[in-house]
Amino acid sequence: MRLEFSNKKIPEILSEFEDKNTFQWQNDIFDLMKKIDVKEGTVNFHYSREDNIYVSNFDPRFVNETFRSLNNFLGLKKGDSTLLNSSVLENEGEISLVQAIEGGFDLYCHEDSDKVKIPLTDEGQDEIGYALNYAYLTKTQIENSFEDLARIEKVAIESDYLSDDLINKLNEQTKTSFYQVFTANGFPIAVKKIDEIEYTVLDKIELSEDEKGNLVLNSPYEKESLNLYRQAVVSDDQRKFRWISGNECKLNGKDVVNLELIEEKLKSYIDYNYIVIAFPKKESTDDVISLVIESRFAEHVDIPKSELEPYEVPEQTFFIGDFPKSNDKAAIRAELIRLLKEANKNN
């Protein structure tokens, strides 16, 4: 099914399918198109959290302007061919449809699938070349469709994390440009090329931070701010941000500290199995650099403060039984913090 938003309005497209036998997945698309065409009330976006599906509502003016910003960042233009490969009852399908309507794209629609289905566009597909200008896909669809990605000029992936292995595989697809789109409550917030560190925030979205350094999103069209409860580093002009990595911490919402670099410096002074974390100071809510050592080692730790920067000197030391088994330092830190918090509750 092809929907030509490049030269037809929604009512014209809908009229073409009146009194025709259609599948339920097509009817779902038509129902969403009708809601968008009304331009009143709110626009819904689905999102999942802890295996539950929720629906968020946004002002249609906010949706229109933000999606125009997304399309502009991706360099898409009216008449480009794009793909809807997910149900519109899911987040990826909703975004694909709104992008096509707002950008005036020709949208090829397929039934929901975990594999990309390249449409027959009647444009000499027997020849090697692009079949589509653009597609908005899931990580699962990407992983199941590597052989087809070269037929798509630009691909956006809804994910705020891609493994190094997947990025390397995508970089081998030299004909295709890949982007990551970050969404909050189902709504696209920011976008970046997969090799970039910082996200660019879309129009009509303003960034701020709470007292703990967590990212907060605001919009002139929305009454309430959205706190993501995730620490981030925001650029000076507040148009870009990056997430705090697993080897970093933001002490009390301020200074970004690389915990792995501190551990490297401490190697000269500690022979034991240890790790550095950010943890609240005793009898305080302020996070400080803290040392965690296995309890079977001697308690005496001699770290010459004069050899380190002030922020590199651990302010407190904890002793624990066995360290969690993992090759991922960030995972070990997270588990140790959980265990220490649990121990504090029981004391």
Mean pLDDT computed over 294-322? 80
Model confidence, pTM? 0.83
CATH number for the region 2-203 comes to 3.40.50.12780
Mean pLDDT computed over 133-160? 93
**Cβ-defined contacts of 196-201 (< 8 Å, 24+):** 197/242, 198/235, 198/240, 198/241, 198/242, 199/240, 199/241, 199/242, 200/73, 200/239, 200/240, 201/238, 201/239, 201/240, 201/241
Per-residue pLDDT tens digits for 226-266 = 999 998 999 988 899 999 987 888 887 788 889 999 999 88
* Reported confidence tier of residue 123, pLDDT bands at 50, 70, 90: low
Q: Closest Cα to residue 121, out of 105, 136, 137, 103?
A: 105
Residues 6 or more apart in contact with residue 223 via CB below 8 angstroms: none
Residues 6 or more apart in contact with residue 115 via CB below 8 angstroms: 141, 144, 145
Per-residue pLDDT tens digits for 66-88 = 999 999 999 999 999 999 999 99
* 206, β-bridge pairs: 218
Pairwise CA distance, residues 306 & 312, whole Å = 11
What integer pLDDT is reported at residue 88 of this predicted model? 92
What integer pLDDT is reported at residue 114 of this predicted model? 93
Q: Is the pLDDT of residue 3 over 90?
A: yes
3-state secondary structure of 277: strand
Q: Which two tokens stand for residue 58?
A: 């946004």
Q: Is the pLDDT of residue 144 over 60?
A: yes
**Contact (Cβ atoms closer than 8 angstroms) between residue 301 and residue 326:** no
Helix-helix angle 24-38:91-103, to 10 degrees: 50
Per-residue pLDDT tens digits for 83-96 = 999 999 999 999 99
3-state secondary structure of 256: strand
Domain residue limits, the chain: 2-203, 256-346
CATH number for the region 256-346 comes to 3.30.300.30
